[in-house]
Structure 1
Amino acid sequence: AVRPGTPHAFLLTDQQIVDEGFLVFINDLLASGNIPELFTREELDTVLSSLRKQAKAANVADTREGLTQFFTDKLRRNLHVILCHSPVGEALRVRARKFPAIVSGTVMDQFHSWPRDALVHVALRFIRDLDLPSAELHSALAEHMASVHLSVDPANQRFYEVERRHNYTTPKSFLELIDFYKSFLVGKRLDIDKNIERLRRGLGTLEETRVKVEGLREDLREKMVKVDEQKAAVDLLIEQVAKASAVAEEESRIANDENERANEAAEEASSIQKKADEELSEALPAMERAREAVKCLTKPAIQELKALGKPPAECMEVTKAVLIMRGELKNTDWKASQKMMNDPGKFLDQVRAFDAENMTQETVALIEPIISQPFFNFEVMKGKSLAAAYLANWVVNIVAYNNIYRKVKPLMDAFAQATESRQKAEAALAVVQERVKELNERLAKLNAKMQDADEEKGRVLAEAEECQLKLDLAERLVNGLADENTRWTASVDQLENSKVTVIGDAMLASAFVSYVGAFTSPFRVSLIEVQLQRNKTS
């Protein structure tokens, strides 16, 4: 305000005076344009030095007193102090007595009541930014605010006459009404929007729950179909398992019977074989002695025997016995014997390969009288001919083996038959056991399949029960909140309608808060009734 020379205004309201000491500085500033001890000497010298050029241009003496006066004059010219005080109460009068410059150093402007047109224009100026359904509503609202403000003055007069108490209604009260109405209306609209949003969220949740309930019903129907299918499948598998078990048990019984028969046949064969082996063991030494006798035969010995022109009668009896064993029953003379031994090697091979087991009983009957003669043994015959002695020993042992073998043969036949029976039983048993094995494997697969199906049925049934539980809870919730759904829907409609009615409701509440606080209860009721009647007529 001093160095640049820019005009400034210092505005101070009575509400800002929190300490009466503020007015001491204001009083000095208004009275002399100077506040003592505001600057130190050094600070003041700095300020005056900065004004030296301006003072010289204004033909002011370059002295401390001249520069100080130039500073004060310029401050008075560019700095204007504006004090705003309410006329209500004793505060202004008391301060005027204590600080006289407040009155003597100022020009007092007193603001009187605004006319109706001014009130309407001011209200329109401040509420034109409000979001209202129509422009006409702005004008109607401004007219109503003016009417409310003006209607309080008669009430103030009646209030003074009755209660002997003053109540002042100033333009500031009107501005406070406008400001409070705007903030109150915005707040109420926010509350309405929040309540609508909250209710709509609740309605949306109810709708989502209803949709989920329908979905749960459909899921439950599908799961119950699956449960019935799984139950039918398990029942079918149980039936199949029962049939397969019965077949397997029957086959197992047959297998046990076959096993018993096979064991019996094996035991019989073993018993027969043991008995045959015992009896045959008596013949085996004779056969072994016959083989030893044949082993002792040599080609030279056979050749020597064959070369005899007139052999001893004993040797001829030995060769005769050999011819009979070979099946020659008619011609058994020495020439036939020599012919038999014509090829010693071949003859020995035939002797070695002789089938003692298949020698007939007739042959044995023809030979036994020969071998029963006293000389027909190895010890006697070796004195006649070594080859004849060995052949005699071979014939005796072959006949002895055959006699024992013929006794054992029935046992061996019985053993063969028993062995065959055992093999057939074992074969039948193997077939039945394979069948039982296949049936058991099939039964095991059916049991596993049935167990899997039963587990699946249990799982699906558990899911169905869980779904049923959720459905029951959801239906209870939906049914329990059905009335709430209706009430919330109606509340949303009411709140939507209240977006329009809140404009007037907020106006009535704002007028009540702004003006009737100082009145007693009868005056408050009277003012409210007047406003309600005015709202109905307007």
Structure 2
Amino acid sequence: MAEYSLVTIEITRSYDSAAFKEDIKSMMLNVAKSSGKGLVFLFSDTQIVKESFLECINNILNTGEVPNLFAADEVEQIIGLVRPLAKAAGKQDSRDVIWSHFVHLVRESLHIVLAFSPVGEAFRARCRQFPSLINCCTIDWFMPWPKDALYSVAERNYKDADKSLGIDNYVGSLSAMSGVIHSSVTSMAENFFLTLRRRTYITPTSYLELIKLFLSLLEELQGVLTARLKRYTVGVDKLNQTNAIVDKLKQDLTEMQ
């Protein structure tokens, strides 16, 4: 979109705060190397291995930089990269001015997209601890999907399912069924809250997981049935072979008599 590059982080078992800071540095350097071309950093709450990740993001959102992020030699590299850009923008040729221009480029060109679930206490605690997540962001709230949206999402997922599942002729029925299940569970969750004062959240992600679970169970069940069918087929073949042998023995006995 808008010809911006999209980047995200790849979480591994050894991924830590140092690795995250290296990725942040790489993004900021890419902004300088591309002369301020737009870069989008997509970050979800499932990628928060350590809360210090949010401290870096909070600083970038608030000031455009992370204190003590770059080593001295890296600062010199950035100054060299940004000097022509600052000069073209009519800025003074001084280190402080050039660095300020670099920070300006980061704030203007590095767009951070945060995908957080509002469910639970963690989101509230993070918003209190890192206020820039609220103050420096535009918040898009995703409301419950209407009936047509539930149907369309299910239809797309079922159409994209493996053809070996054999559900092509049932996509419409499955899509409608999935929407009804989700809506009924949402209603039951509200009744559960009214009765026991305990909140259970049914989100769009829950709906996608429902579809994924159905397809997974269907594939698993088909595997079980295929294995049983193969076993029965082999058994029938063995019986037929045995019957043929018995018939041959009967014929041999008759001839011997």
Shared fold (TM-score greater than 0.5)?
yes
Task: Find out whether 1:178 has 2:211 as its counterpart.
Answer: yes
1:35-54 matched pairs, under 5 angstroms: 35-54=66-85
Aligned partner (choices 210, 232, 242) of residue 209 of structure 1: 242
* TM-score, scaled to structure 1: 0.40
Q: 1:6 to 1:212 in 2, by over 3 A?
A: farther
Q: Distance in 2 between matches of 1:8 and 1:209?
A: 71
Q: Is the 8 A contact 1:123 1:178 kept in 2?
A: yes
Identical aligned residues as a percent: 36
1:412-491 matched pairs, under 5 angstroms: none
Q: Measure how far apart 1:175 and its partner are.
A: 1.1
Which range moves more in the overlay, 139-148 or 179-188? 179-188
Q: Distance in 1 between matches of 2:106 and 2:126?
A: 24
1:218-257 matched pairs, under 5 angstroms: 218-219=251-252, 224=256
Q: Secondary structure at the match of 2:119?
A: coil
| Structure 2: gaps (5+ residues) | 1-30
Q: Measure how far apart 1:80 and its partner are.
A: 1.4
Q: Measure how far apart 1:142 and its partner are.
A: 0.7
Q: Measure how far apart 1:15 and its partner are.
A: 2.0
Q: 1:217 to 1:61 in 2, by over 3 A?
A: farther
Q: 1:200 to 1:57 in 2, by over 3 A?
A: same
Task: Find out whether 1:128 has 2:159 as its counterpart.
Answer: yes
Q: Which residue of 2 aligns with 1:469?
A: none
Q: Distance in 2 between matches of 1:125 and 1:95?
A: 35
Alignment deviations for residues 203-223 of structure 1 (CA, whole Å, 9 cap, x no partner): 11221222223334445566x
Q: Distance in 2 between matches of 1:75 and 1:8?
A: 9
> Given residue 87 of structure 1, which amino acid in structure 2 is its aligned partner?
P
Q: Secondary structure at the match of 2:99?
A: helix
* TM-score, scaled to structure 2: 0.80
Q: Which residue of 1 aligns with 2:220?
A: 187
Q: Is the 8 A contact 1:2 1:71 kept in 2?
A: yes
Aligned partner (choices 99, 103, 124) of residue 93 of structure 1: 124
Q: Which residue of 2 aligns with 1:392?
A: none
Q: Measure how far apart 1:123 and its partner are.
A: 0.9
Task: Find out whether 1:155 has 2:155 as its counterpart.
Answer: no
Q: Secondary structure at the match of 1:10?
A: strand
Q: Name the structure, 1 or 2, with higher relative contact order (CA <8 Å, separation 6+).
A: 1
Which structure would you say has the larger Rg? Answer: 1
| Structure 1: gaps (5+ residues) | 226-538
> Given residue 240 of structure 2, which amino acid in structure 1 is its aligned partner?
E
Query: How many residues are matched?
Result: 224
Q: Distance in 1 between matches of 2:149 and 2:62?
A: 36
Q: Distance in 1 between matches of 2:182 and 2:221?
A: 22
Q: Secondary structure at the match of 2:199?
A: coil
Q: Distance in 2 between matches of 1:61 and 1:198?
A: 81
Q: Which residue of 2 aligns with 1:168?
A: 201
Q: Distance in 2 between matches of 1:57 and 1:204?
A: 83
Q: 1:20 to 1:134 in 2, by over 3 A?
A: closer
Q: Measure how far apart 1:127 and its partner are.
A: 0.9
Q: 1:83 to 1:221 in 2, by over 3 A?
A: same
Q: Distance in 2 between matches of 1:212 and 1:38?
A: 82
Aligned partner (choices 4, 17, 22) of residue 48 of structure 2: 17
> Given residue 3 of structure 1, which amino acid in structure 2 is its aligned partner?
K
Task: Find out whether 1:3 has 2:33 as its counterpart.
Answer: yes
> Given residue 213 of structure 1, which amino acid in structure 2 is its aligned partner?
V
Q: Measure how far apart 1:57 and its partner are.
A: 1.9
Q: Secondary structure at the match of 1:2?
A: helix
Q: Which residue of 1 aligns with 2:3?
A: none
> Given residue 67 of structure 1, which amino acid in structure 2 is its aligned partner?
I
Alignment deviations for residues 11-48 of structure 1 (CA, whole Å, 9 cap, x no partner): 22222212112111111111111111221011111122
Task: Find out whether 1:113 has 2:144 as its counterpart.
Answer: yes
Q: Measure how far apart 1:89 and its partner are.
A: 1.8
